[in-house]
Structure 1
Amino acid sequence: MNDNRSVQRCLALLRCFRRGPGQSLTELSKSVGLHHSTVLRLLSTLQSEGYVRKEGMQWSLTPQLLEIGFAALANTGVSDLIQSSLQGLADQFSGSANIGEKIKDEVIIIARANSVSELRKILIVNLRVGSALPPESALYSALDLPEAEWSIAKYPDRKVTTVGISLFSGAVRSLSLGLSINDDEYYGDKIETELLPALRVKRDEIRRLMRLGDV
Structure 2
Amino acid sequence: MEDRKLTVRAVERALDILMCFTKAQELALTEISSQIGLHKSTVHRLMATLEERGFVIRDSRTDKYRLGMKIWELSTHLSHSDDPAVRLLPLMESLRDQLGETISLYLRDGAERIRIQAVQSNQAIRRVAQVGARLPLYVGASSKVLVAFASPAVQEELLLDPDWPETVDKKAYRRQLGDIRKRGYAISIEEREPGAVAVSVPIFDHQGRIAAALSLSGPVNRLSPDTLLQFAPVLKEAAREMGLMIS
TM-score range, shorter chain: 0.7 to 0.9
- Identify which of 104, 107, 112 aligns with 1:106: 112
* Residue equivalent to 1:150: 185
Q: CA offsets per residue over residues 15-39 of structure 1, 9 Å max, x none? A: 2232231x33223212211012211
Instruction: Determine whether 1:8 maps to 2:15.
Output: no
* Residue equivalent to 1:77: 84
Q: CA offsets per residue over residues 63-91 of structure 1, 9 Å max, x none? A: 331233455582523445x2121112112
Q: Distance in 2 between matches of 1:73 and 1:140?
A: 27
Q: Distance in 2 between matches of 1:6 and 1:116?
A: 45
Which 5+ residue runs of structure 1 have no aligned equivalent? none
Instruction: Determine whether 1:141 maps to 2:150.
Output: no
Instruction: Determine whether 1:92 maps to 2:74.
Output: no
Q: Distance in 2 between matches of 1:129 and 1:59?
A: 20
Q: Say which SS state the counterpart of residue 129 (structure 1) adopts.
A: coil
- Identify which of 13, 32, 48 aligns with 1:28: 32
Q: CA deviation at 1:2?
A: 2.5
Q: Distance in 2 between matches of 1:179 and 1:78?
A: 16
- For these two proteins, the number of residue pairs brought into alignment is 204
Q: CA offsets per residue over residues 45-78 of structure 1, 9 Å max, x none? A: 2112101122333322223312334555825234
* Residue equivalent to 2:172: none
* Residue equivalent to 1:52: 56
Q: Say which SS state the counterpart of residue 139 (structure 1) adopts.
A: helix
> Aligned pair in 2 of structure 1 residues 173, 166: CA closer, same or farther (>3 Å)?
closer
Which 5+ residue runs of structure 2 have no aligned equivalent? 150-180
- Report sequence identity in percent: 24
Q: CA deviation at 1:198?
A: 0.6
> Aligned pair in 2 of structure 1 residues 173, 42: CA closer, same or farther (>3 Å)?
farther
Q: Distance in 2 between matches of 1:55 and 1:185?
A: 41
The answer to whether the 8 A contact 1:160-1:182 is kept is yes
> Aligned pair in 2 of structure 1 residues 88, 173: CA closer, same or farther (>3 Å)?
same
Q: CA deviation at 1:109?
A: 1.6
The answer to whether the 8 A contact 1:94-1:181 is kept is no
